[in-house]
């Protein structure tokens, strides 16, 4: 599925003041009761394992 930026229940924050791997952009992503409409679902994907195909 694809969740659009600014969707209710989606929270993404950058991790600041890291000691190691400062050149890598890391963040926290939280989903709280996010609604994903059918048109934003990836066709043929029903599990996380399917995304590897």
User: Which H or E run includes 28?
Assistant: strand 27-31
Adjacent-strand bridge partners of 29: 12
pLDDT digits (tens, 9 = 90+) for 16-42: 887 777 677 788 999 999 998 989 888
10/33 Cα distance (integer angstroms): 8
Output the pLDDT for position 49.
87
Residue 7 in tokens: 């969707």
DSSP 11-45: EEEEPPS-SS-TTS--EEEEESS----GGGSPTT-
Domain ranges of the chain: 1-44
Chain-centroid distance of CA 49 in Å reads 16
pTM above 0.85, yes or no: no
- Residue 25 has what pLDDT? 79
């Amino acid at each position: 599925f694809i969740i659009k930026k600014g969707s209710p229940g989606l929270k993404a924050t950058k991790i600041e003041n890291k000691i190691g791997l400062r050149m890598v952009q890391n963040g926290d992503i939280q989903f709280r009761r996010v609604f994903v409409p059918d048109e934003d679902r990836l066709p043929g994907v029903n599990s996380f394992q399917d995304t590897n195909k």
